[in-house]
A and B are shown apart, each in its own frame.
Chain A
Amino acid sequence: MDVLTVDGARKRFGDVIALDGATLALREGELLALLGPNGAGKTTLIRAIAGRVHLDGGQVRVFGTPVSGRRTPAELGIVPQELAVYPLLTARENLGAFGTLQGLSRRDLAGQVAWALEVTALADRADEPVKGFSGGMKRRLNIACGILHRPRIVLLDEPTVGVDPQSRDRIYDMLGGLTKAGVSLLVTTHHLEEAEARCTRTVIIDHGRVIAAGTLPELVDRTVGRHRVVTLRTDLPVASIPPGAEILSDDPRVLRARLSDVARELPPLLAALGSQGREVEDVEVRGPSLQSVFIHLTGRELRE
């Protein structure tokens, strides 16, 4: 079931077109990655879903209800890219404050704060001022403040930016726990490996338009295909390039070939090089990845 749909969203800021008919759907209980180069329109799309950007055209629906006005729908939880917590307050005080603003009753608040501290593994630091926390702890608290009221949909804008790999894993474990509980998550990220490994589906946006959406195999099939890229390095420049291979860059010792069946096609390639008296120093076999899909679609690398 689609819990959130964006249909033909358009938004222009002066001469800049931020959204140009973006369309996507978020399914119940999935972790959907929203990828795109800088300036592609990701943040504008997130803000439009949250009701903070008035669209020039198109519509956003949350559980079938159009998002309008200045209020964020109660079913949504927002986790901004910035560390939107009060550094001089403790973790418990921050959670208490945002929980109250979200409308939690006093009775529910204590339970929800305890739950959030447990989920974020911050219970042992709950009464310390946030300013002394590590980047990863602040990020986890930032997420906790957005999910405290148990929203059914959570929008997370770059939730792992600037944190170490261990903290990223911890954050994604936390998000995985939410999806298991039926919460639907829309995450923008620059970490393709994370999106590839952790997210159910991926939406790629560029120039304000959604240019691809689906699971990784679906995207691979639609773009780069399932062949492997094999890169070979020889000790000396090759005398003649074997069929199906090409010289990569300016170095005549590096060859690249696209192989649909590595086990069958790689041995003849190695044999052809050996017959020229060349010794193969290195072999790299790369399968289709989200990065290759992304580069194929946008023509650009995705950098943090």
Chain B
Amino acid sequence: MIATLVKIAWTNLRRDRVAQALTFLLPIIFFSIFASVFGNQSEGSTARIRIAVVDEDRSELSRRIAEGLAKESALRVRAKSDAAGSSMLLDRAGAERLVRDGDVPVAIVLPRGIGDAIMTSGGSIGAAGPRIQLLADVSDRVAPQMVFGLLQKVAMTSAPDLIMQGGLRQFEQYAGEMTPRQQSAVKAWLQRLTPRGSDANKAQDAASGVLGIGIDTVDVMRQGKTESLISFYAAGVGVMFLLFSVSGASGTLLDEVDSGTLDRMLSTRLGMTGLLAGKWIFLALMGTAQLTVMFLWGRIAFGLDLFHHLPGFFVMTIVTAAAAAGFGLVLATLARTRAQLSGMSTIIILIMSSLGGSMFPRFLMSETMQKFGLVTFNAWALDGYLKVFWRDAPLWQLWPQVLVLLTLTLVFLALARTFARRWEVA
């Protein structure tokens, strides 16, 4: 008897392709996506961090730090004002703009007088005078920390001789001039610290860990505001569940097919185009309401700064809900049954959400995966929300996201209308 039950279940599974996909294919797809995102299979190591470097000091020390950063294999340094590498060096405003626009997560500013300050202080932590500034988008919690550490290393190892000289001058100023024998010993020591030839690594080893330099991290995105990544999570989770809810709600179309209500409606003056338009408008309104509730809850419970971003929020919410509604209709008109719709939408939405950044931020992914994620609906919606809430972007800067989402809406509606023809005339 038990064998009969097993046989029935096996036969059902064998004949249900959606169930097979959910059981075997979906885990493999997710494993591959997570492995690609976090394992960086294609690149073999952690992705290089893009940074901008502004040398306001133009001293020997700042030049060496900039060069040292450029040599770091973990960094991809941009020092010119445009991506093509023109002769114009970046200034502070340009670097800050790059961070704000999301082109780089971190910019390093070597302010005027930093070279003298470090040399005279011997690089000691907390010394008075100008300090290196790290302009960062703290929504990326990894890149600023990594760059901070690398900057410490580079600053101390790219010019240990200069820093030591500065330190010794300070020593003589307060402790008296060194004896000839001491000076001779220092000279020999400085030669070892000069980063040339095969001794360069030894020089870095000798200096690192002994000294530290002052670095200030400046959050150029929030500038003193205290809220965290709430807006990102509100958008990420909101968009993912928006897709689930519209695909579920659009399934009423299949219910209406089964109940004969669709036939009845098609026998009225409505017609299929009108019927789909009505469904789409309802789903878009429902999606708008759902996202609004989500962000309102973020405002109430987590202090999300919703009310200062209302225009951008509504633009993104309306176009996102409109496109999601179209997407739901495509799935519903493509599926033959409710069960098929449920399985299909689960697979597609989870894949889009993982690739598109709803589950984990795309800026944590490799560049390849970030670009690949743009094929998904979620990525464009989330990019728009991040522009609104993180980058304080003006409305006009949302045009790429709005354009893509509106285009997707039209494509989805055209597809849904095409698929729905099967219900019109046999």
Contact = CB atoms under 8 A, between A and B. Distances in A.
B424 interface: yes
Given A83-B260, A84-B260, A70 B267 contact: no
Nearest to B269: A103
Interface string A100-111: 011100000000
Contact of A86 (B261, B268, B269): B261
B426 A54 contact: yes
Interface stretch (A73-81, A171-179, A216-224, A238-246): A73-81
Interface string A47-86: 1001111100000000000000011101010101111111
B268 A101 contact: yes
Contacts of B258: 82
A2 to B, nearest CB: 22
Given A84-B260, A84-B264, A47 B426 contact: yes
B260 A80 contact: yes
Contacts of B261: 82, 84-86
B85 to A, nearest CB: 60
B266 A72 contact: yes
Interface string A22-53: 00000000000000000000001001001111
A80 B259 CA distance: 9
A103 B268 contact: yes
Interface in B75-97: none
Q: DSSP majority for the A interface?
A: loop
B206 to A, nearest CB: 79
A72 B271 CA distance: 9
A63 B293 CA distance: 54
Contacts of A70: 266, 271-272, 424-425
A78 B426 contact: no
Contacts of B266: 52, 70, 72
A82 B259 contact: yes
A72 B426 contact: no
Interface in B257-289: 258-261, 263-272
Contacts of B265: 98, 101
Contact of B267 (A13, A72, A86): A72
Give the one of A54, A102, A103 with max B CB within 10 A. Answer: A102
A98 B264 contact: yes
A178 to B, nearest CB: 17
Interface in B395-426: 424-426
A120 to B, nearest CB: 16
Contacts of A72: 266-268
Contact of A78 (B267, B269, B271, B425): B267
A22 to B, nearest CB: 15
A83 B263 CA distance: 11
Contact of B425 (A52, A82, A103): A52
B260 A145 contact: no
A13 B272 contact: no
B279 to A, nearest CB: 13
Give the one of B264, B265, B266 with max A CB within 10 A. Answer: B264
Given A70-B272, A83-B259, A53 B264 contact: no
A52 B269 CA distance: 14
A101 B269 contact: yes
Interface in B60-108: none
A179 B272 CA distance: 31
A13 B426 contact: yes
A54 B426 CA distance: 6
Given A52-B426, A53-B425, A83-B259, A146 B271 contact: no
Contacts of A82: 258-261, 263
A269 B168 CA distance: 143
Nearest to A48: B426
A51 B264 CA distance: 12
Contacts of A80: 260, 263-264
A165 to B, nearest CB: 24
A15 B219 CA distance: 71
Contacts of B267: 50, 52, 72, 76, 78
Given A78-B263, A80-B260, A52 B424 contact: yes
Nearest to B268: A101
Contact of B264 (A54, A74, A146): A146
A267 B43 CA distance: 105
Nearest to A157: B260
Contacts of A71: 269, 271
7 contacts: A50-B267, A52-B263, A72-B268, A83-B260, A98-B268, A101-B269, A146-B264
Q: State the 5 A-B residue pairs at the shortest beta-carbon distance, nearest first.
A: A82-B260, A84-B260, A80-B260, A101-B268, A72-B267
Interface of A: 13, 44, 47, 50-54, 70-72, 74, 76, 78, 80-86, 98, 101-103, 145-146
Given A70-B271, A74-B269, A84-B261, 18 more contacts: A13-B426, A52-B263, A52-B267, A54-B425, A70-B425, A78-B264, A78-B267, A80-B260, A82-B259, A82-B261, A83-B259, A84-B259, A85-B261, A98-B265, A101-B265, A101-B268, A101-B269, A101-B270
